[in-house]
Chains A and B, each alone.
Chain A
Amino acid sequence: MPYPRLLAGLLLTGSLAAGAYAYAQGAGTGAAPMSGPSMAADTLSMPALLDKLSAQGYRDARSVERKSDKLVEVKATGPDGQRQELYVDARTGEILKVERD
């Protein structure tokens, strides 16, 4: 009867594929794929995020803090030379809020 064999074959193929993928990605070795354990898949890397800010005239970032997988707080000098505290969307790099530091 082929159907139990088909089910076993499906499970076996699936687990081998998942295992191979895990191995290829270095899963379980403690090497986190990105900088934080709970980071969502579509979060910008820190360098990419800082590039976006410097493109808008911000420089000398003194502190970068990942608040959540959606929000990053950056302290930097703004285009006007003032020290500012920025709340940045972690996915798009968009500046959500600017405060004087």
Chain B
Amino acid sequence: MADMTHPAGQGTPVPPSPGTVRVWDPLLRLIHWGIAAAFLTAWLSAEEVMAVHEAAGLTIIALVGLRSLWGLIGSSHARFSDFAPSGAGLLAYLRALVQRRADRHLGHNPAGGAMALTLWFALLGTAALGLLTRYPLPGLRPYGHFLEEAHEVLANGTLVLVGLHIAGVLVSSLLHRENLPLSMLTGRKRAG
């Protein structure tokens, strides 16, 4: 996880390419790849290595919490107010996307913003249900199996969202001829 910050850490040998701007701050990138690694770990360890699975779930809870705090006080493109779309704005963007004339956004585009928010809620919900499955509240004990089912359904739903997220990143990268995954590593995007 720690080496994810390397490309943009202080004193690292990545020269800012001319014509690029800093978009994603280091903490945001660390959280992004941290959540990705934790979700992958949680997925692979499910029903296999429960100590690892539990640690991955706790990591997700901590990182989503940190990300939402950063969404209030972080750098400009990290703030939820920068990308939480209105319903109309999201629909207009999606309509333009289908016609392959969607605007390029330096931060999250409206669909990307909606996806990020949905993913965080799904991740937190999945992890919270997992926690309640493993450490049931006394009143919820009779519903243990229902909680476990709900945890699994939500985990599967989150995996679908991750697939859509990756598909969206690919579509957006192709449409605007830029490498968005690389930007999430370096923090930089082409200016203008």
Residues of A within 8 A of B (CB): 1, 3-5, 7-12, 14-19, 21-22, 25, 27-28, 30, 32-33, 37-38, 40-42
Interfacial chain A residues near B67, Cβ < 8 Å: 11
Q: Report the minimal beta-carbon distance from B79 to chain A, rounded to whole angstroms.
A: 7
Q: What separation, in Å, do the CA atoms of A19 and B59 have in the docked complex?
A: 10
Q: What separation, in Å, do the CA atoms of A9 and B120 have in the docked complex?
A: 12
Instruction: Contacts A5-B81, A7-B84, A19-B61 given; indicate if A12 touches B69 (C-beta within 8 A).
Output: yes
The interface-forming segment of B95-103, B137-145, B172-180, B181-189 is B137-145
Select from chain A the residue with minimum beta-carbon distance to B127: A18
Q: Report the minimal beta-carbon distance from B128 to chain A, rounded to whole angstroms.
A: 5
B50-79 CB contacts (< 8 Å) to partner A = 50-51, 54-55, 58, 61-62, 64-65, 67-69, 71-72, 79
Q: Are B135 and A25 in contact (CB under 8 A)?
A: yes
Q: Are B141 and A11 in contact (CB under 8 A)?
A: no
Q: Are A40 and B68 in contact (CB under 8 A)?
A: no
Q: Are B54 and A33 in contact (CB under 8 A)?
A: no
Q: Are B135 and A42 in contact (CB under 8 A)?
A: no
Q: Are A21 and B133 in contact (CB under 8 A)?
A: no
B contact residues, range: 35 or more
Select from chain B the residue with minimum beta-carbon distance to A26: B135
Interface of A is mostly: helix
Interfacial chain B residues near A4, Cβ < 8 Å: 71, 79-81, 84
Q: Are B58 and A7 in contact (CB under 8 A)?
A: no
Q: What separation, in Å, do the CA atoms of A8 and B155 have in the docked complex?
A: 21
Known contacts A11-B71, A14-B128, A25-B131, then 8 further A-B pairs from the complex at CB < 8 Å, ordered by chain A residue: A4-B81, A8-B71, A10-B68, A10-B121, A12-B68, A18-B128, A19-B62, A25-B135
B23 proximal to A (CB < 8 A): no
Q: What separation, in Å, do the CA atoms of A17 and B137 have in the docked complex?
A: 13
Interfacial chain A residues near B51, Cβ < 8 Å: 30, 37
Q: Are A22 and B61 in contact (CB under 8 A)?
A: yes
Select from chain B the residue with minimum beta-carbon distance to A40: B144
Q: What separation, in Å, do the CA atoms of A4 and B83 have in the docked complex?
A: 8
Interfacial chain A residues near B71, Cβ < 8 Å: 4, 7-8, 11
For B79, B134, B140, B147, which residue has the most chain A Cβ atoms within 10 angstroms? Answer: B134
Interfacial chain B residues near A9, Cβ < 8 Å: 68, 72
Q: What separation, in Å, do the CA atoms of A22 and B80 have in the docked complex?
A: 26
B3 proximal to A (CB < 8 A): no
For B54, B121, B140, which residue has the most chain A Cβ atoms within 10 angstroms? Answer: B54
Q: Are B68 and A22 in contact (CB under 8 A)?
A: no
Q: What separation, in Å, do the CA atoms of A32 and B135 have in the docked complex?
A: 9
